Amino acid sequence: MTQRTAIVTGSARGIGAAVAKRLAADGFQVAVLDLDESACAATVDAIKSAGGQALAVGADVSDEAAVAAAVEKVATELGAPTVLVNNAGILRDNLLFKMSVDDWDMVMNVHLRGAFLMTRAVQKYMVDAAYGRIVNLSSTSALGNRGQVNYSAAKAGMQGFTKTLAIELGKFGVTANAIAPGFIVTDMTAATAARVGADFEDFKKLMAAQIPVARPGQPEDIAHAASFFASEAAGFVSGQVLYVAGGPKD
């Protein structure tokens, strides 16, 4: 396989870090992109220690100029990016009547504006190479989740974004797919537990009891799916939403 360059946003920790490490193990050169470049060090070091190639990149994905500079840096220092994983995300949970406009805007800006800006900046490299893989992180919250009207709307939007990318870019050899994780053990789900006033260990047990496979998900579970969508073998799979949730979802 031709060695390719992948960008994984929000990859300093959690799902993004697991995806970055997995893609590096698959043979990709990986740009580990997060808001704070220094926060990417642990992921980059882990990849390099395992014999892979990685570059730390700091950028606010909702900032057009920062995205353009970040993608140019990746293209210059690693190579033209032909794989993009839009994973960057934040939580600003609250019930609708308590939610501020800032909490709505911040979630929309990171998830949707960020995915738009990153994809628009990277797609030209994919089109030039007549090859590309776009993997967007949605969520089971796209189906609706109390206290997450902003996050749920953003994650549902990621699914429509993905399907439209598949239609527009398919003729250029570019696929676009989405992964919708269920309950995954990360800092973000720990924050959700804290929001509802639950001990995280108790919260994990409660969630596991509702999952058919009887366990919470791990970031590596999502990384396995991303590995497939990013591979050459997935060239005839596009516009799909894969729920990785330990059981069926509508």
Enzyme catalytic residues? 151
Amino acid (one-letter) located at 4: R
Among 243, 246, 249, which residue's Cα sits nearest to residue 212? 246
* 250, 144 contact by CB (below 8 A): no
- Cα 83 to Cα 24, 188, 206, 233: the distances in Å are 12, 25, 36, 14
* 83, 24 contact by CB (below 8 A): no
Q: Report the alpha-carbon distance of residue 80 to residue 58 in Å, rounded.
A: 18
**In a 10 Å sphere around its CB, with 0-12 CB exposed, 13-18 middle and 19+ buried, how is residue 231 labelled?**
middle
Q: Report the alpha-carbon distance of residue 13 to residue 28 in Å, rounded.
A: 18
**In a 10 Å sphere around its CB, with 0-12 CB exposed, 13-18 middle and 19+ buried, how is residue 33 labelled?**
buried
Strands (E), 59-207: 81-86, 132-137, 174-181
The vertex-145 CA angle with 138 and 150, nearest 5°, equals 65
Mutual angle of helices 149-169 and 114-129, in 10-degree steps? 20
